[in-house]
């Protein structure tokens, strides 16, 4: 029974002319004691909420740090695999590109700029972050449990997604199934059994070795 209910009982007792004989304390004393008890509980709850809030923001901060560590690692990997150029150039397919493998679209201010047009570091970093957010989002669409995969597998699949895009990567059905099954060695085998392997053999060999290493760890 909470203090409001107890107060109601006490008031009802008075109204029925039972007086306070059946109660150890006066109405005022009982009400004061109940209010002090609930006041104490309020401050306890307030302290708990403060602690929970601090813990929540601590977890958010740690998650953000882990995300930035992941993106920094992926950035360094892609600088090796894609290169990083601070000018507009044509990639191996003849498509206008700049930065870390950023394909220029009609929405980019660099669209229709001449080859060799300089692009500053701030702009390169800006589009890289945009491209990585798209890449991670596409990985999560392709793999329902992508967030639960080992970080090394996340890096490998993100690297492949950045390189090929989801339409092409989604065709690696046996590799995808092997990853879902947690069979990292078979996933590596399926990565090698592809046209992609023949197109970017050096890059593919590095990623395949890393995928199989997850299975041996």
Distance CA 10, CA 14 (A): 7
Domain 75-216 -> CATH class:
mainly alpha
pTM here is 0.69
Contact 158, 177 (CB under 8 A): no
Please report, in tens digits, the pLDDT of each residue of the chain (217 residues total). Answer: 554 565 555 555 544 544 444 455 566 777 777 777 777 777 777 777 777 766 555 554 555 555 568 999 999 999 999 999 999 999 988 999 999 999 999 999 999 999 999 999 999 999 999 999 999 999 999 999 999 999 999 999 999 999 999 999 999 999 999 999 999 999 999 999 999 999 999 999 999 999 999 988 7
Distance CA 74, CA 68 (A): 10
pLDDT in tens, 45-57: 777 777 776 655 5
């Amino acid at each position: 029974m909470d203090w409001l209910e107890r107060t109601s009982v006490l008031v009802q007792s008075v109204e029925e002319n039972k007086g306070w004989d059946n109660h150890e304390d006066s109405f005022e004393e009982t009400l004061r004691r109940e209010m002090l008890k609930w006041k104490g509980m309020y401050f306890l709850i307030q302290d708990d909420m403060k602690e929970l809030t601090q813990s929540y923001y601590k977890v958010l901060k740690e998650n953000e740090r882990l995300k930035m560590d992941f993106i920094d690692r992926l950035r360094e990997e892609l600088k090796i695999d894609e290169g990083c150029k601070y000018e507009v150039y044509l990639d191996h397919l003849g498509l206008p590109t700049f930065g870390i493998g950023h394909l220029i679209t009609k929405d980019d201010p660099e669209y229709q700029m001449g080859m060799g047009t300089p692009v500053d570091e701030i702009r390169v970093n800006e589009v890289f972050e945009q491209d990585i957010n798209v890449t991670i989002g596409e990985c999560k669409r392709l793999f329902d449990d992508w967030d639960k995969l080992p970080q090394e597998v996340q890096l490998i699949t993100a690297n492949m997604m950045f390189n090929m895009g989801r339409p092409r990567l989604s065709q690696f059905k046996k590799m995808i199934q092997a990853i879902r099954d947690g069979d990292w060695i078979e996933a590596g085998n399926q990565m090698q059994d592809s046209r992609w392997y023949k197109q970017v053999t050096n890059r593919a060999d590095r990623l395949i070795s890393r995928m199989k290493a997850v299975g041996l760890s």
